[in-house]
Chains A and B, each alone.
Chain A
Amino acid sequence: MLKMTHLSKVYRTEVVETYALRDFNINVKEGEFVAVTGPSGSGKTTFLTIAGLLETFTGGEYHLDGVEVSNLNDNARSKIRNEKIGFIFQAFNLIPDLNVFDNVEVPLRYRGMKAAERKQRIMDALERVGLASRAKHYPAELSGGQQQRVAIARALAGSPRLLLADEPTGNLDTQMARGVMELLEEIHREGATIVMVTHDPELAARAQRNVHIIDGQVVDLAEDPRFHHAVHAARNNAPA
C-alpha cells in the first residue's frame, strides 16, 4: 500500500543542509495499522506529510497503492490525496467558518460528487463517529474530542484506502483520547490501512506494528530502550 525506498528529504538553506529523512525505508501493507514513533524532531511528521503527498522528497522512491508518485503534477497529487488518503491532524484543522456538515463535505466537493451522494456519505460518516445530531454545529461549539471525531468523519467520508493520523490524540484529555483511539481501532478492524504518527508509547502499543524513527531513519525499536520498554509495558497492561 505504502512503500518508501531509500527516501531522503533535505531542507537546504544557503549555508546548511538539514536531512529530515535519510535513507528512509518503510513498507506498509494493505489493512495494516502501523504506529510511527520517535522522539520530537526525528522526522515523523515529515514522513507523514511526504506519505500524504503534501510535500515532495529529495531522493529515493515512493510507491503509493502501486503508483510511483515522484513525477506526478499538482493535479494528479491532489486527486490522489482526495480519493485515496484521509488525514487526521493533531490540531483537528476544521475550518472554523463552516459547520460540521460543511466541514465533512469539503473533500467530497473536490471530488465533484453529486449533492445527494455527498449528503448520504456525510450523514453516514457522522453517524459512525456519533455526531449526526451535531451536523449544524460549528467547530467552536464542540469539545476537542468531538472536533477530532468530526475530523475523522471528514477523513472517512471519502472512503480512503489509507488513513494518515498525526498525533490524533495529542490535544485531547485521556478520556477523549481513549474514545478517539477506539474509533480508529474500529475503523481498522473494518479493513482500513492506518499509519499513525505518535510519541505516546501507549498508543503505539495498540498498533499492529511499530516503526521507530531516530534522526530521520527507521531504526530497531531496541535502539531506544526507554521507549521500547514503555511500549512493552503498555502492551502487557492492555486488556485482553
Chain B
Amino acid sequence: MSGMFMHNLGLGAISLRRNPLLTALMIMSIGFGVAASMVTFAVFRAVSGDPIPQKSSQLFVPLIDNRGPQFNRHGEPPSALTYTDAMALMRAHRADRQTLLYPVSLSVMPGDSSKMPFKATGYATYGDFFPMFEAPFLYGNPWGSVEDESREAIVVISRSLNQKLFAGQNSVGRRITMDDRQYRVVGVMDNWDPKPRFYDLFDGNEFADPAQIYIPFTYAIDQKIETYGNNNCGSDGKRGDDRDSWLHGECVWVSPWVELNSASKVAAYRQFLDSYANDQRRAGRFNWAPNNRLRNVREWLDFLHAVPPESRISLSLALGFLLICLVNTIGLLLAKFMRRAPEIGVRRALGASRADIYRQFLAEAGMVGLAGGVLGLLLTGLGIWGVGLVFEPQIARLAHLDLSLVALTLLVAIAATVLAAFYPTWRAAQVQPAWQLKSN
C-alpha cells in the first residue's frame, strides 16, 4: 500500500513538472490563501485563547449591583466593585481563595544614583493572587495572609525588573525604593503574561505590557496609593469630596476574583452574594432586588468582548479569501486532470479501478497542497512580520510563528487542497475508458 502511495507521489511529481505554469498557479493560489488565513489566525489565536485553561472554570469574578436599575447599563451590574463591597467579600472569606486588585504605577529609584528613576506598573493585590492564577516564581515566594494583614511594605517583582535592578541575581530580601517608600523584595516571578490578561479586563489591560510589580493591597490602601486604572462613579458621578468619602463611596474600581473548586461552592457563593445584597437592601443602601453576577474566566472574556472584533472580521475575510483560492484551485485541478483523460482511459483499461484513480490524483493534489503549504509558510512568516500594518501594535506583537502554526499551515494547505481535489478527481474517475480509447 505504501509502495503504491510512493508510486502515486512519483506520478504526481511527473505530472506537476509537465505543466509548470499550471502547477505554479495552483501552488500560489493555495500559498496565498493559506498564508492570509494563518496570519489572521495567529492574531486571533493569540487574543482569543483561554489564558488559563487548567483553571478557567474555577476562577470567578463576583459582581454586585450597587447602582440599581435606574443607573446600571442594560440591567448589568458594574464590571468592578466598590471598596466597601470588595472588602466585605474579603472579610466574609467564603471562597477557597480570593483576591482583590487594582493597577498601580510607581516611580522606581535605581540603586545606582547615576541612573534616572523610571515608572513601573503592576498591581496592588492579596497574596492569594499568585496561587490562584498559578504565577510562576523564579526566586522566593508569594506573600501570605499574615503579610496581608500586617500590611507590610513588600513587593514581588517581575523577572525583567529583577534583571534591570539586580542584573538577574536572586534579589529576595533586597530593598527597592518606589515613590519614596522602601519595599522588601519577597519574590521574583518568572516570565508570566497571560493573554488576554483576564484578571484585569476592567482597566482595559487585556493586551498591555507585562506587569512589573505586585504589592499588598492592604499596604497600598494604607499608603493611599491611587489606582492607575479605571474609576467608575456611575452616571450620577458622585465621586466624593475627599479620599475617604471616595474610598467608602459608590465608585467602582476594585477587581475581585474568587476561586471556587466545586459546583456546590459556586452555588453557595451565589447565595452568599444574594444574601449580602439583601443585607445591604435591609440596611437601606440598595433599594432593589439582588442583581449579582458570578462569571468564570471564559464567561468574563466573552461578556467584556475581550477578543478585538477586527481579529474576528479579518479571520472571516481571510477564510473567505482561502475559499476563493480553493475554488480557483478546483478549476485549475479540473483542467489539469481532464487534460489527462486519455491516460486515465488507458490506466482503466489496464486494470485501474476508480479507487486507484482517486488515490493517484489525490496524491498529486496532496503534493500541490504540500508545495502550497511551504509557500504559505514563507508568506505567513512575512505576514506576521507585517501584521502591525493592520492591527494595533499591542495586539500585533502577540502574533508569532511557532511550531504549532507551522504544522497547522502545512496541514491546512494539504487538507484544503485534497478537499478541493475531490470534485476534479471524481470527474477523472468517471472518465469512460471506452470513449477515450475509441477517440484515440
Contacts and interface: CB of A to CB of B under 8 A. Distances in A.
Interface of A: 45, 49, 52, 54-55, 74-75, 78-79, 81-83, 87, 89-91, 93-95, 97-98, 106-107, 109-112, 115, 154, 158, 166
B434 A78 contact: no
25 contacts: A49-B434, A49-B437, A49-B438, A54-B348, A54-B349, A54-B433, A78-B352, A78-B353, A78-B354, A79-B353, A81-B349, A81-B350, A82-B350, A82-B351, A83-B351, A91-B440, A93-B349, A93-B437, A93-B440, A95-B343, A97-B15, A98-B14, A106-B346, A107-B351, A110-B352
A97 B352 CA distance: 18
A104 B176 CA distance: 83
Contacts, number: 74
B428 to A, nearest CB: 14
Interface in B331-350: 342-343, 345-350
Nearest to A89: B437
Nearest to B437: A89
Nearest to B354: A74
B145 interface: no
A74 B18 CA distance: 30
Contacts of A115: 3
A62 to B, nearest CB: 14
Nearest 9 A-B pairs (CB), nearest first? A82-B351, A78-B353, A49-B434, A55-B434, A91-B440, A110-B351, A107-B350, A54-B434, A93-B346
Contacts of B355: 75
Contacts of B346: 93-95, 106
A111 to B, nearest CB: 7
Contacts of A45: 438
B152 interface: no
Q: Which of B346, B433, B440 has the most CB of A within 10 A?
A: B346
Given A52-B349, A54-B434, A93-B345, 19 more contacts: A45-B438, A49-B434, A49-B438, A54-B349, A54-B433, A78-B351, A81-B349, A82-B352, A87-B350, A89-B437, A91-B440, A93-B342, A93-B346, A93-B349, A97-B15, A109-B7, A110-B347, A110-B350, A110-B356
Interface of B: 3-4, 7, 14-15, 18, 342-343, 345-356, 432-434, 437-438, 440
A154 B350 CA distance: 9
A111 B356 CA distance: 11
Contacts of B433: 49, 54-55
Contacts of A166: 437
A27 to B, nearest CB: 22
A219 to B, nearest CB: 22
A78 B348 contact: yes
Q: Which of B4, B7, B433 has the most CB of A within 10 A?
A: B433
A97 B351 contact: no
B351 A111 contact: yes
A106 B350 CA distance: 7
A79 B355 CA distance: 12
Contacts of B438: 45, 49
A13 to B, nearest CB: 15
Contact of B437 (A54, A75, A109, A154): A54
Contacts of A89: 437, 440
Given A45-B438, A78-B352, A89-B437, A55 B432 contact: yes
A107 B350 CA distance: 5
A81 B440 contact: no
Given A54-B437, A97-B15, A87 B353 contact: no
Nearest to A96: B343
A81 B4 CA distance: 19
Nearest to B350: A107
Contacts of B3: 115
B437 A78 contact: no
B438 to A, nearest CB: 6
Contacts of B354: 74, 78
Contacts of B432: 54-55
Contacts of A81: 348-351
A224 B342 CA distance: 34
Contacts of B352: 78, 82, 110
Contacts of B345: 93
Contact of A97 (B4, B14, B437, B440): B14
Given A75-B353, A78-B353, A106 B347 contact: yes
A83 B351 CA distance: 8
Nearest to A94: B346
A109 B4 contact: yes
Contacts of B14: 97-98
A90 B356 CA distance: 25
A54 B342 CA distance: 14
Contacts of A74: 353-354
A87 B351 CA distance: 10
A98 B7 CA distance: 12
